[in-house]
Structures are given as C-alpha cells and as structure tokens.
Chain A
Amino acid sequence: MERHHITALCMLIVIAVVCTLAGREFLKMYEPDEIIPGPGVTKVDNLSSYSGDLAGTISDTKVYVLDSGKPGATALVLGGTHPNEPAGFMTAVVLTEHAFVREGRVIVIPQVCSSGFTCTDPLEGYPQSYSIQTKSKIRSFRFGARGSNPLTEWPDPLVFLQYPSGQQLSGNEVRNLNRSYPGRPDGTVTERVAYAVMQLIERENVDIAFDLHEAAPEIPIINAIVTHEKGKDAAASALFTLESENLQFALEMSPPNFHGLSHREWGDRSAVFPYLMETSNPIQGRLRGVTNEALVVQGIDRKYFEAAQIGSMRITYDLEGEPLARRVGRHLRGLQALLGAYMESTPEKRIVVDSVPEYEEILARGLGDFLH
C-alpha cells in the first residue's frame, strides 16, 4: 500500500468516527417533545387528517381540540410556525396543558412546522434544546430551525416563486411555512403543510385564528399584532384593553402585496379573522452575543444591551432581558384580549377560555408552574 493510500484510509476512518458521533447528536432531534394534554383537551388529532399526504412523515403533527361542548366560535392557535421562535410554541403548549374552554372551541397546533423541530439552522450556532423546571421535573424542548427540515425537500431553489402569486423570494424561503400559504396538495412539503392548515380552517369553520411568532429585537414589527384589514377594529379594541393594563403592543396592517403570509392569505381566502403576534426574541437577532440555551430561556444578551444604548437604530430590548416567561405571557394576554374584542364585535359567537395564566402571574411564578 502506497503512502497516499494510507493517508486516505486514515482520513476515511477519522471521517467515519466524526460522522458517527455527530450523527448521534443530530438524531436526538428526531425524538418528539413531550406535550401532555390537559383536562381541557377533548380530542387529539393529526394534521394529516386534513391532507392525507402528510401521514407518516415528520411533517405531520398533533392537533389538540379543546371543545366546551357549548355552541360558540372556533379559534385556531398555531405555535411553531418557525421552530426557532420558542415563545409561540410554548404558548401553545401552555394552552394545551393548562387551558379549559367554557364556551366555543379552541384548536391548538403547537408544532405546526414539525419537521423544522428536527434540525437547527447551519451557521447560526443554535442550541438543540432548552430546559424548563416545572413543579415535578425538568422538561426539555427542542429548539428548531426557521423553516422545514431541508431533508424533506432538498435542494432549495436559488429563487423561490411563491404559489400562486409568483412573487420572488430568496430560495431558502421555500421552506418557510409563513411564506407558503395557501399551499397546494401536490406542492413542496411545506406547501402541503400550509394546504392542510387552510383545509382545517375551512372544514372546522374557524372564526378567529392566531399565528404566534417572535422576531429579532431590531425588527420594527415587534411586540406587535399584525392584522388583516377585516380584523383591524377588533385588534384596535384589543390594543386599547392591553394598553390599559400597561402592555404595549403595536398594531400593524398586513401588507396587501406581500403574499404567502398567514395574516394575508387566511384573511383573503377564508372567512377567518387572522392575527399574527410577535414578541422580541434576542436569540433570533443578528446582533446577539453568545448563543446558548440560557439566551433562549432568560433572554439576557449583552450585545443587545449595548446596541440599545447606542441608539443608532430602534431596538426593542428590555435592558433586563426578554425572558421566555414574559414573551409567553405577552402572547397569552394578547390572545385573550383579541378573543374578548372578537366577542364584542360578534356577540352571537362566544368563546371563553379559562385557566389561562395572567401576564403578571406567569412573570411571578415562572413558566414551569403552568406546565405538567
């Protein structure tokens, strides 16, 4: 055997060891998160019930129904549209494990982009999971990628042509669920998930729907409620309520020429009143410092502290940090305020959700107190 053959053989052995060790780490992300249905959950279904192609794939996901059995409105709550925005996901988990619906019906999908929970975005240095101490144990949840797992529809095109608008977007946006509505049954995996959500909205006669997000602190649309034109009166009323409680939210209108977004396509293509909510999440930001699990949960980042002090751009970052508990609390309170405002505008369709932790309560007791 010649010398370069020996070198090549050694390299192959090293690569095999590296792949095995790293592969074990990556495979851990395929272990599903534990979500324990609370007493309010009356039915657990799968998203594939609304688009059969998803059955048996990592893009299928649980749908939790909290039905009061009394007539009223139906609300849909989506968490995990972007799996790297944990407040949206955790808000949906708290609702699933803790809420009780007294009138009407609430449908919760905590991990709507479930394949995105099986990987993280390369070059971002994200942790694979984060932990929360509950009353009885430490629970670990996956921190995922912004879009679907590339393995489900690789490779990305260089340019993503949004269906059906034909709008051009950066190629990696092809895996962004919140650019893929209304979706299509024979499209990419992400478009099929979007299609299933649209089917659910239609078949379940959803009246009001929430898409829970987070954004980098430097993005102007933050701590905001984004609404379709038809939902703006209810949103304005909700904002008034929230401001009276010293919770500042900005009201943003859905841009009519930006297609594929939930608040645009749901509103244009169904009878639903769609709302998207954003909180400030430092780990998503481009200015963040050390990227680790503590940043997900505590939201304390020295670089954002410095950037906010500089003042050269608007940074929505509390100098004491943006902890996950507060971000979840904002989502829960915003959601309740919007449901209240919706009932005011359509009194014949009532929806009352109990056992949702108050904002101050979740700040004082911590997120873990509201998880099993």
Chain B
Amino acid sequence: MPFELIILLSMLVVFALGVFLAKLPSGVALVLSAIVGALVAGEGFPLRHLVEGAFGYLDAMLIIATAMIFMKALEASGALGTLGHLLVKSLYRWPTLLFVFIALFVMFPGMLTGLSSACILTTGALVAPAMLAMRIPAPAVGSFIAMLAVYGMIAPPINIPVMIIGGGVDMPYIGFEKPLALASFPLALVAALYYRFRYVRKIHIDEVLSQLPSPVHAKHGIMLFAPLVLVVALMVAIRVVPQYVPDIGIPLIFLLGSLAGLFTGERMKFWTTARSAIRDAMPVMVILVGVGMFVQIMTLTGVRGFLAVGALNLPPAFLYVGISLLMPAFGSAYASASVIGVPLVYVFLGKDEIVVTSALSLIAGLGDLMPPPMLLCAFASQIVGEKNQFRILRQSIPLMVLSLIVAIAMIAFANSVAKMY
C-alpha cells in the first residue's frame, strides 16, 4: 500500500472518529486529522505549517462573517421578510415563471463575484423563507439554493475557477462567456423546473403569505431596500467602472450595507445582530480553518500529489468517470481547480481549451457541496433550518449527476461545442 494512502486513510479515520464518535465539530475534527497526518508522515508537529494552512482561507472567512452580518441586519430591518413577501405576491399566479425568476435571482451575486457562498448568503437567504412557506421541504429548498449557487459561480461574467486554471496554464480570461453560459444557464433552468414541478402544484397565496413576516415597506418606503441596493451597486460598480470606484473588497461592502440597515428599516441593536451573525457563521469558519490545515498537510506529505497522479493514472475508459468522482472530492471548487484542473487541461490537449476549461470549472464547482467542508450545504442548512447537512447533499444528487453529464459531454465534444458559437 502506498505510504501516501496510509497517511490519507489515517487522516480520514481520525476525521470520521472525531465527527461521528466523539461528536466534535467538523472543523475541530479536521484540525486533529491534519495533526495526525503530519505525525504519521514523520513531520512531527509542524506548527508553522498548521498556522499557515489555517490562514489559507482567511479572505473567504471574512466574506462569510460580514455577509452573515449583512443578512442578519436585513432580517432585523424587515427588508428580508418584505422582499420575500413581495416576490411571492407578485408572481404566485405563474409558479413556473416565479421559479425561473428565483433561480436567476439567486445566481446573480455568484455571477458577479464568482463566489458561490455569496449566492446563498444574500439572494438565497432572501428567497428561502418564501419557498419554505410554499411547504417545500427544507432539504429541498436548501438543495435548490445550493445548486443555484454553484451555477451562479460558474455563470459569466466572473468565474474564478476558470481564472485559477487559466492562471496555471497562462490562458487569458477571454472568450469564456458563451461556454460558461452553456455550462450554467440550461442547468439552472432545469433546476427551476425540477423543483417547481416536483414540489409545487398550486400556490395558496394567503397561506404562504401568512407564514412570512409582515411586510414593512409601507412604513419605511423604498429606503427599506437601500442596503441591498447599496451592496449590489457597489459590487457592480467595481466591475463595470473600476476606474472610478476602487475595489474596497467584498467584506467592506457587506459591512457598509449592514451599517446602512441601521437607518433604513425597523430599529435594531447592531451589536446584538452582529454577535448573532458571527455565532451562526462560526461553525463554517472553523471548518475553513480545519480544511486549510488539512490541505496544507496533504500537500506537505505528498498526499495531494498522490491524488492528482491517481486521477491521471486512470485508464482512458475510466478517465471521465474518474474526473467526475475525484474533482468534486477535493471539497472545494478553488482547490479542485488549482490542483487537478490545471493538469487536466493538458490531458485534454487537442480539444478546445476554452470549452474544456469551462466544463472543468463546472465539475470543480460541485466540490463546494462535498464533504468534508460541505460549505454550501452547511450554509444552506443554516438558512433553511435543516440540522443535517447531508440531507441537503442527498437531495442535490440528481442535479449533481446531471451537471456532471453535461460537463463530461462538453469535454468529450469540446471541438463541436466550440463550433456552435
């Protein structure tokens, strides 16, 4: 048995024992598994590597923390409930149209920022109460917004996994709009129709509205939505007119939006709201600390290379199946794109590189749903109040499989796809 496999198995066993037997939080179990991995590999207790890995996702953690504060502020100001109320009231007569609209709405922040988590924490959180009020089961709602978050991250104009792969192979981010649209919008449409026809026959408007918080727009007017407009406007402005609007960073944008919420809706205690948000975000942030240490030790000990070479070593007949299983297994879109996405572009030399890279980004994007971090499932479970994140993952399997089929087809027929546009 290869030594790297022994290290990997020891890490996974410690993680599983920590989560299922000792009932530790996933993040803490990941920290322990990283320490054990280093010990098994003979690296001792590599404190510097563990701390360095812990900071690997610092920027993502800041975004998560501030986005959560923003969402709590919107909720406390009454904007969140009012928006859900207005959305359902306006479109309940046309449920199919309502679901397509919701799908595009949820995807929007991801299209703009390239961050799947931004979709769940902003627009996903806005529509979730309305969907729950339609008596759609919580795992299904969580799965719906989690899948749309993946598609939002993949959809143009901004796709960071493609940029990461492009950075690794010196390919400029030019000409990706159409293949990325092909890899995302049709799947989003299918997702909207799937959940619409599976779970919603007719919307009983009075019953739904009674489950939602009472709207407060009559009291506060259009200003109620000013924080949301401010955040979206700043996100758009730093992309569209960067020469006039400096990129102040997504965390600061969310914080400005949160502060604006103090003056535009129902009264709130900002300190209490922020504390509550950080308490909710803490488990996910701890997971990211643990994942950072886990990845750092995997790289240090050669386990990362073992997995990457293993993917390349697959027989041609199993290559596509292997990619479908291995790429998402990295548990993070960015890690997957960086570690395995870059070499795979070379494996598929001869096929249209832009189409191949777009498709690989879709497969990598599914990694955000997968354990151990299960980032999107963890967020979605908090938003919809589902305690078991695995139920959201299980609910997502049909769409994940469909997404993999679409991505593999795009790779297999990349040159034909390229001729379509």
A interface residues with partner B (beta carbon < 8 Å): 18-19, 21-22, 25-26, 120, 122-125, 128, 155-159, 161, 167-173, 216, 218-221, 255, 257-259, 285-292, 301, 303, 306-307, 310, 312-314
Contacts and interface: CB of A to CB of B under 8 A. Distances in A.
6 contacts: A18-B47, A18-B51, A122-B292, A218-B346, A286-B304, A313-B346
A285 B312 CA distance: 14
B172 A258 contact: yes
Interface centre among A128, A167, A313 (most CB of B within 10 A): A313
A171 B250 CA distance: 12
B167 A291 contact: no
A278 to B, nearest CB: 11
Nearest to B297: A125
B169 interface: yes
Given A123-B296, A123-B299, A125-B49, A158 B158 contact: yes
B88 interface: no
A313 B172 contact: no
A123 B346 CA distance: 23
A259 B312 CA distance: 32
B122 interface: no
Which of B48, B168, B239 has the largest count of A CB atoms less than 10 A from its CB?
Answer: B48
Given A122-B292, A125-B297, 6 more contacts: A123-B56, A125-B299, A169-B173, A171-B160, A287-B309, A291-B302
B115 A158 contact: yes
Interface in B278-302: 292, 295-297, 299-302
B113 A158 contact: yes
Given A157-B247, A303-B306, A310-B309, A257 B52 contact: no
A122 B288 CA distance: 13
A286 B164 CA distance: 13
Interface residues of B, number: 60
A173 B167 contact: yes
B340 interface: yes
Given A123-B295, A158-B113, A167-B172, A287 B343 contact: yes
Contacts of B167: 169-170, 172-173
A107 B297 CA distance: 40
Interface of B: 4, 41, 47-53, 55-56, 59, 62, 113-115, 158, 160, 163-164, 166-170, 172-174, 238-239, 242, 247, 249-251, 292, 295-297, 299-302, 304-306, 308-309, 312-313, 319, 335, 338-340, 342-343, 346-347, 349
Contacts of A19: 51
Contacts of A301: 305
Contact of A287 (B170, B308, B349): B308
Given A170-B160, A287-B343, A288-B302, A128 B48 contact: yes
B343 A289 contact: no
A44 B236 CA distance: 47
A103 B29 CA distance: 64
Contacts of A22: 47-48, 50-52
B404 to A, nearest CB: 20
Nearest to A215: B170
Contacts of B313: 306, 310, 312
A290 B298 CA distance: 9
Nearest to A173: B167
Given A169-B163, A310-B313, A289 B296 contact: no
Contact of A289 (B4, B48, B56): B4
